[in-house]
Amino acid sequence: MVGVKVIGSDSEFQPELTGAGSRLVVVKFTMAGCRPCVRIAPAFTMLSNKYPHVVFLEVDVHVCQGTAAANNISATPTFLFFRNKVRVDLYQGADSSGLEDKIKQHVENDPGSNEDSDIPKGYMDLMPFVNKAGCECLNESDDCGFDNCLIKDSTYLESDCDEQLLITIAFNQPVKLFSMKMQVSVLAQAPKCVKIFINLPHSMDFDDAERSEPTQTLDLSEEDYKDEGLISLRYVKFQNVNSVTLFIKSNLGDEETTKVNYLTFIGTPVQATNMNDFKRERNWQFRRLPQFYELKFSNEGAVFAAFIVCPQYEAYMAVGQVVGCLYTMAVLQAYQTDLHWELDEEVKMGNGKVRELHCASDLALRDTKETCSAMQ
């Protein structure tokens, strides 16, 4: 797809993400009259032509209020990055160079750009979720280190003093692992016996790896490295994975060193957003709020409850239902069931309780008692 697709209504957004499959999707959230949005618009169009394998979408936060609220948009322009309908990154501001750097970060090793036919429908390459700062490799060669096997090019990871490697890959959120993709260029130096461990509480050394019971043990052959090296895992054992450790014990040809050209995992994030849960939004009633309002506290029963989601301060539960807090404008969307409002005393932003919020003039208040369990 070349060019920027403008989303005209909330109902158009989800089909566009679905249609993109495993390709990277960059969504620009904009607003009429926003000068930074206008300033970066030509660059965004240029980038859409420069990266034809990436899907570029534009969403006006006033036209598609439901989509903006569901994605907790706090300022414009905001750029969200999706793959397989899962949000993988965010960029804010009108710096076109910074935006392109962020796009390059995802496409230079983009598992979705060529629509890998070997990845089953519903799963994705989890490389975008790898937390490189949390990864480590023991017995890696100084000249051919671990980082090489995270990139699809001619470089490779090679062991140092013997054939064994101990690799830990950390993820930035819990994931479900369906399979492992391990590609090699020299079969004789390809891993053979691999012990797999997950969610270890501390770093493992080679002695620990030898005597510990793994989550799964693989005895690989040349056949496993055909068809892009996709190796099935026992899916039921890998349902909530924060880190995975591979103890490569031997290689196919009993060579002195082991080489791995590319290593990644196929699966899904545990907390993949299901946008179908937001279909009920069309039944909500809306009304405008004044620019400022005050949240008052009462010791007598709660008359409304809220879940404030704030990127800078994490998330805080008020008495039991759900709202979105957009921190840049400090916008609160809440349920109102009476004239008196109450927040749980533990709901805080910064160092104090929320007693006053600056609200956007077009903020919609949802006048309903229905619990929106989809966002809990």
- Domain span at residue 220? 125-269
Residue 274 located in a structural domain? no
Q: How far apart are CA 237 and CA 233, in angstroms?
A: 8
Which CATH number goes with the domain that contains 239?
2.60.120.470
Residues 153 and 251 in one domain: yes
193 as an active site residue: the answer is no
Residue 21 has a pLDDT of: 78
| Model pLDDT for residues 143-196, shown as the tens digit of each residue | 999 999 988 888 999 999 999 999 999 998 899 999 999 999 999 999 999 999
Residue 272 has a pLDDT of: 55
Residues 91 and 145 in one domain: no
Rg (CA), the chain: 24
Residue 87 has a pLDDT of: 86
Residues 359 and 321 in one domain: yes
Residues 255 and 131 in one domain: yes
Residue 109 has a pLDDT of: 55
Residues 296 and 231 in one domain: no
Q: Which of 40-49, 93-102, 302-311 has the lowest mean pLDDT?
A: 302-311
Residue 117 has a pLDDT of: 54
Beta bridge partners of 241: 175
| Model pLDDT for residues 126-136, shown as the tens digit of each residue | 888 888 889 99
Residues 218 and 351 in one domain: no
115 pLDDT above the threshold of 80: no
Q: Locate tokens 């699809």: which residue?
A: 152
Specify the pairing of strand 4-7 against strand 55-60: parallel
Q: How does DSSP classify residue 153?
A: S
Residues 347 and 329 in one domain: yes
In 3D space, the residue among 234, 248, 241, 236 whose CA is nearest the CA of residue 204 turns out to be: 248
The more confidently predicted of residues 228 and 205 is 205
Residues 6+ away with beta carbon under 8 Å from 169: 130, 135, 243, 244, 245, 246, 263, 265
Q: Which amino acid, one-letter code, is at 7?
A: I
In 3D space, the residue among 54, 68, 56 whose CA is nearest the CA of residue 9 turns out to be: 68
Q: How does DSSP classify residue 146?
A: G
Between the ranges 49-53, 298-302, 324-328, where is the mean pLDDT highest?
Answer: 49-53
Instruction: Single out the catalytic residue among 37, 137, 144, 372.
Output: 37
- Helical pair 96-107 and 35-50, crossing angle rounded to 10 deg: 40
Residues 326 and 362 in one domain: yes
Which CATH number goes with the domain that contains 40?
3.40.30.10
Residue 118 has a pLDDT of: 66
Residue 101 located in a structural domain? yes
For the chain, give the longest Cα–Cα distance.
Answer: 76
Mean per-residue pLDDT, 188-216: 94
Mean pLDDT of the chain: 73
- CA distances (Å), 278 to each of 34, 282, 373, in order? 27, 9, 10
Residue 238 has a pLDDT of: 94
Residues 374 and 307 in one domain: yes
Residues 236 and 145 in one domain: yes
The answer to whether 176 and 241 are in contact (CB under 8 A) is: yes
Residues 184 and 105 in one domain: no
| Model pLDDT for residues 46-98, shown as the tens digit of each residue | 999 888 889 999 999 999 999 999 898 988 999 999 988 888 889 999 999 99
Residue 278 located in a structural domain? no
Cis peptide before 36 (omega within 30 of 0): no
Q: Which of 45-54, 102-111, 124-133, 247-256 has the lowest mean pLDDT?
A: 102-111
**How many structural domains is the chain composed of?**
3
